[in-house]
Amino acid sequence: MRVIEVDQLAEHLGPYLERRPRVVASGNFATPRTLLDAVDRVLPSYRLWMLNAQPGVPERDGVVHETPFVGPGVRGSKRLSYIPARLSLVPRMFARTYIPDVVLLHVSPPRDGHVSLGVEVNVLPAAVEQARANGGLVVAQVNPDMPWTTGDALLPVDQVDLAVEAQEVLASPAPRTPGAVEAAIGERVAGLVADRSTLQLGIGGIPDATLAALATRRQLRLWTEMVSDGVLRLEQAGALDADVPLVTSFLFGSPELYAWADGNPRLRMQRTETTNDPARIAEQPLMTSINSALQVDLYAQANASWVRGRIYSGLGGQSDFVVGALHSAGGQAVVALPSWHPRADRSTIVPTLEAPATSFQHSWVVTEQGAAAITPEPFEVQVRNLISSAAHPDARAALEQAVADRHLLR
């Protein structure tokens, strides 16, 4: 790992000036902004590959945004190239059709011959391996504010070609308090979770509300792709099993969360191929997958990715964890959402999805109205449960009419 000044990076990018290279960068809230800004100044044209890109990433002619999970920084961009893919399969894409030319990492200062990827492991180890195997360039922004985490976060310094030292306060999502509907849903979901369960929770207000409602549980475990402040609150409440590692692939939240992660021996950061492998997920006892959705239809299919015909996020890890949880001993997969969309002023329980399905065959569909049992109930029972227990009262008559019109029930 050779340390250079940021303005020296231009000479190392020379081989990519006459082509349109693929630049893979740390995503979520670990964006290496110093490096990314420098690359954007040098390269006239490139493909920027990031997961859940946040506002402030380059957005101009010449930059194509490639991603299987769309973040607010590129959502709605006319330069967006969405790649439908489960997160668990992204490392295979790097080896076949989306080979990285340049990888931009955000790491801690080195210790004992390693740097740490800190709060964002995810698909980055696979990107580094493929870039090096194919003659690409690996550059790291070395930031003393990046927490030191272990597991697959540890990267030998000889796997990094160039390093730029640049201190940067890690970004945090805007704090938010769950509303009354989200809190009610969180309480209902928490009611399905037993002591000693293994948890996976997605992104959003409902997973956060669910974590808040689980503070009285005991000996909970964690096998998830992400960690937020809600997990820290469970730790502080004594709800987590102190003898079992907390397995995740990335985290983001408050400065308090980052301080908790720094040097935490129980926090094991793993690569996506491990955390999101349905077979590995199925090995976890009482695996409980909890994810949000935008719509659920009477066939118990959930859309968590598309809004008004446009991609909003992506498959992420939801489908991986739903499958894994259903094969776990005592496992269950929960999809949770409000029964009514206030902005669109319409039901979120619909006769059929208006967009592609993100996942299906859940154990439960939960709204503030109740919890509808799905798998392994007969289809007729699924339909009745969704209407009577999950749908908003104002939507039930129309749903019943749809059932009759489609001859769904005998």
Instruction: Write the secondary structure of 162-188 as one string of H (helix), E (strand) and C (coil).
Output: EEEECCCCCCCCCCCCCCHHHHHHHHH
CA torsion sign, 234 to 239 to 242 to 247?
negative
Q: For strand 114-116 and strand 154-156, is the pairing parallel, antiparallel, or unpaired?
A: antiparallel
Domain spanning 2-165, CATH class? alpha beta
Cβ atoms within 10 A of the Cβ of 322, count?
Answer: 27
Name the amino acid, one letter, at 222.
L
Alpha helices in 88-243 (DSSP H): 90-96, 124-133, 180-190, 205-213, 229-237
Edge to edge, what strands does the sheet with 370-373 contain?
221-222, 198-201, 287-292, 332-336, 364-367, 370-373
What's the gap between Cα 76 and its chain centre?
Answer: 19
Q: Per residue in 46-78, is it b (16+ CB within 10 Å) or e — as a string?
A: bbbbbbbbbeebbbeeebbbbbbbbbebbbeee
Residue-range domain boundaries for the chain: 2-165, 180-406
234 three-class SS: helix
Kindly tell me the burial class for residue 42, based on how many C-beta atoms sit within 10 Å of its own C-beta (0-12, 13-18, 19 or more).
middle
343 pLDDT more than 90: no
Q: Over the stretch 323-339, which tens digit does the pLDDT of each residue have?
A: 999 999 999 999 999 99
Query: What letter would DSSP give residue 74?
Result: T
Q: Which residues are catalytic?
A: 225
Q: What is the DSSP letter of 223?
A: B
Integer Cα distance of 389 and 188 in angstroms: 12
Name the residue among 380, 355, 369, 366 with its Cα closest to residue 332: 366
CATH of 180-406, one of 3.90.1010.10, 3.90.480.20, 3.40.1080.20, 1.10.1740.110: 3.40.1080.20
Max CA pair span of the chain: 72
- 27-55 pLDDT, tens per residue? 999 999 999 999 999 999 999 999 999 99
Q: How many residues does the chain have?
A: 410
Residue 410 has pLDDT above 80, yes or no: no
Alpha helices by DSSP H, 53-106: 90-96
Span of 201-215, 283-297, 361-375, 392-406 with lowest mean pLDDT:
201-215
pLDDT of residue 204: 82
Q: pLDDT tens-digit profile of 189-241? A: 999 999 999 999 977 889 889 999 999 999 999 999 999 999 999 999 999 99
| Mean predicted confidence (pLDDT) in 307-334 | 96
Q: What tokens does 341 get?
A: 């969309």
The pLDDT, as a whole number, for residue 177 is 85
User: Nearest CA to 232 among 250, 217, 249, 215?
Assistant: 215
Distance CA 116, CA 109 (A): 8
Distance CA 344, CA 392 (A): 14
Q: 308, 354 in Cβ contact below 8 A?
A: no
pLDDT > 70 fraction of the chain, expressed in percent and rounded = 100
Structure tokens at 147: 């927490």
- Domain 2-165 shares a fold with domain 180-406: yes
Q: Which of 148, 150, 396, 404 is nearest to 269 (CA)?
A: 150
Quick: pLDDT tens for 148-195.
999 999 999 999 999 999 999 999 998 888 899 999 999 999 999 999
